[in-house]
Amino acid sequence: MSSRFRNQTSLAILALTFSATTPVFSETPAPAAKKSSGEYIGNRLKSLQPDETVVYKKVHGRELELRVFLPEGWKATDKRACFHIIHGGGWQGMDPSRMYPFAADMAKRYGMVGIAPEYRLYKPDKSVTVFDCVKDARSSVRYVRSHAEEFGIDPDRITVSGGSAGGHLAAATALFNEVNEEGEDTGVSCMPNALVLLFPVIDTSKEGYGQAKIGERWMELSPVDHVRAGLPPTITFHGTADMTTPFAGAKEFHENMLAAGNRSELVINEGGAHGYLMRKEDVYEETIQKISGFLDSLGLLKP
């Protein structure tokens, strides 16, 4: 455990029943993304490194990490809000560094603890399935909530976000109650206090994205088909020209959320293609402002 966390407080750790029951902090920064794409987000990655890394789960001999960005003046005794953001890549590509700018900016600008989790990536031979990706996403939120005092966060102010397939996994933390790691303590809720979905995989039917990877059980993991009352307040960003995760799915999800009595906002970018908000600084900045305004309206920003 890093001295920064260890020396702030001595806490009783709520142990979960999956393998990693105690946080393991490392001062060694995770490697930044190797590729610079010419887009705004891609060009920022080389300058960002997490403050800490934490092992949240051990599964099939592999350790999965949380990459943690701490706000200025952070103390373990704080009760900060948390911004937990999951990377995309069709469930089978990219890594947590893809979302470092969001985690870093929410920490630096708004005093939140930013977290970008790692998860197992889908393999075409089905040795890792999309169900496994969902299990890891849900495990990551459970771990953060059960160790909230060590992260210096308020367990009742956790926002979960994600882009593309990561948006699907963010929604999964609220929706798919039957998909959990075997032996995990499901008494610890992975339900977020808010969702921020960025051009998400939201419909896994043949009209959407992901049916071929998920297989015949696709509807079990289709967010648009699992909307019910009592879900967290949600803001969704989507472009009308998205040909990867079609806009129609985001619109239907939003309408279903409202019909179920949930708070839902849909921010529409006319003509926006998949990933549109990652490409230009002004669009990214507008997105961050809208996210912060939404979270502020819920009391999820300031202590």
Q: How many domains does the chain have?
A: 1
Tokens of 234: 């949600």
Helix 130-146, helix 165-175: angle, nearest 10:
60
How confident is the model at residue 29, as a pLDDT?
Answer: 37
Distances (CA, A) of 179 to 173, 174, 252, 266: 9, 11, 23, 27
The model's pTM is 0.89
Q: Tell how far CA 137 is from the center of its chain.
A: 7
238 or 31, which is more confident: 238
CA 32 – CA 20 distance, rounded (Å): 25
Element (H, E) at 284: helix 281-297
Tokens of 289: 């402002």
Does residue 262 sit within a domain? yes
Q: What is the domain range of residue 283?
A: 3-297
Which CATH number characterizes residue 14's domain? 3.40.50.1820
19-77 pLDDT, tens per residue? 333 343 333 333 333 444 569 999 999 999 999 999 999 999 999 999 999 999 999 99
Does residue 302 sit within a domain? no
111-161 pLDDT, tens per residue? 999 999 999 999 999 999 999 999 999 999 999 999 999 999 999 999 999
